[in-house]
Amino acid sequence: MKKALAILGSTGSIGKQALEVVSIFPSRLRVAAFAAKDEVDLIAEQVKKFQPRLISVLNDDVKAKVEAKLAGAKVEIYTGTDGLMKVATVADAKTVLVAIPGSLALSAALAAVKLKKDIALATKEVLVAAGELFMNEVKAAGVKLFPIDSEHSAIAQCLRGEDKKTVRKLILTASGGPFLKTPAEKFAQLTAKEALKHPTWKMGPKITIDSATLMNKGFEVIEAHFLFGIDYANIEVVIHPESIIHSMVEFVDGSLKAQLGAPDMRVPIQYALLEEERQANHWGRLDLTKVAGLTFQKPELTKFPCLQYAYDAGKAKGTLPAVLNAVNEEAVSQFLKGKFNFDQIPAKIKAVLDKHQNKEAANLEEILAADREARNIFGL
């Protein structure tokens, strides 16, 4: 039977690649609904190709433009946050792919879980800002959670068939970003243009900057903690610039399992959407004889303090991880606008973290309030 998907963020990098996966497996997957922002041509094209029953777009203006392009095609079009929620909770979808940034993703993912929908999770904010709350809801609803990230997909694959009690540590690999070899003294001169050149992965601007600061890896540490139930002390980050090994697990007997492959997000997306069933790969394959070598090094925490901030916030729990996520989003957005240079990103984040009075994150409202407060402090 075909599995129906709701895709939150169909025009983003992950959403577009997920739709490629859907078109490779037409007998397995279909799109029941999707939410996108304002890329009118692409939205209209996606409606024609994937024939969802309903979609959501940013606002009425975008809706009118999409309708004009569709010339009577049968699709219900909704707008704004209400529309996004309609997509996340659409009756026939078994799985909701969450690939939109920000706190909207959090509310939408929680609503989908409450309706017992499985989640394919690409948005980092969900587990970073509300990991405990979200995992409790996932457990209570008894739904499946499939990570869409090369690292977490790799770890899930390494853990297959293993007893979790035999895990010694998770080893997340990091490319190191574009400034791995740049001396820290030069960071004060670096602008968004230089930071947007990621060495291996093609991604959106926000996550590309997060890769350059290593905040992305810090967020992945927090996600790994929640996804796999492993203590922070047993999650290690190793810089691996070739991005061939997507992550590893070390077991108590000293054995390491690694997952390797061509750096192509469609592979973990396919693995997640097909619920961890292995099917032929239609994209690139890894030719080991063409790999010159695999190298590893320790991350330099003084040079990339954002990774440390993520470990600290994760261990502190409460509202601090939500604050970290919010203030990082603000800092990256300002950096991308050219308001300051690369060295100021961690400094601005640290200033807000230091001011935050950490408290228990008992419900979504408290998490969202901490998020708002952090953004306000950042703006002062």
Site of interaction with Mg ion (CB under 5 A):
149, 151
CA dihedral of residues 112, 117, 121, 127 (deg, nearest 10): 60
Residue nearest to Mg ion (CB): 149
Tokens of 15: 């959403």
Give the residue with the Cβ less far from Mg ion, 11 or 247.
247
Contacts of residue 44, defined as CB under 8 A and 6 or more positions apart, other chains included, come to 66, 69, 70
39 CB neighbour count, 10 Å cutoff: 17
Nearer to Mg ion, 151 or 264 (CB): 151
Taking the complex as a whole, how short is the minimal distance between the CB of residue 242 and Mg ion, in angstroms? 15
In the complex with Mg ion, the residue whose CB is nearer, 219 or 378, is: 219
Please say which residue, 56 or 153, places its beta carbon nearer to Mg ion. 153
Shortest distance in whole angstroms from residue 263 CB to Mg ion: 10
Q: How far is the CB of 250 from Mg ion (least distance, A)?
A: 19
Output 223 or 373, the one with its CB closest to Mg ion.
223
Smallest distance, Mg ion to C-beta of residue 150, A: 5
Q: How far is the CB of 149 from Mg ion (least distance, A)?
A: 4
Least distance CB 162 / Mg ion (angstroms): 22
Closest distance of CB 127 from Mg ion, Å? 13
Inter-axis angle of helices 364-379 and 344-355, nearest 10: 120
Handedness of CA 210, 157, 279, 294 (dihedral sign): positive
CB of 41 to Mg ion, least distance (A): 29
Which is closer to Mg ion, CB of 56 or CB of 208?
208
* Strand order across the beta sheet in which 256-260 lies: 235-239, 167-174, 245-251, 256-260
Placement of tokens 């996804």 in the chain: 227
Judged by beta carbon, residue 133 or residue 224, the one nearer Mg ion is 224
Q: Closest CB to Mg ion among 4 and 265?
A: 265
Distance CA 66, CA 71 (A): 9
Alpha helices in the chain (DSSP H): 13-24, 40-50, 60-70, 80-88, 103-114, 125-141, 150-159, 192-195, 205-213, 215-228, 266-273, 305-316, 320-336, 344-355, 364-379
Cβ distance 264 to 283 under 8 Å? yes
> How many Cβ atoms are within 10 Å of 150's Cβ, its own excluded?
24
Quick one: tokens of 139?
A: 């457990």
Please answer whether residues 336 and 205 qualify as being in contact, where contact means their C-beta atoms are separated by less than 8 angstroms: yes
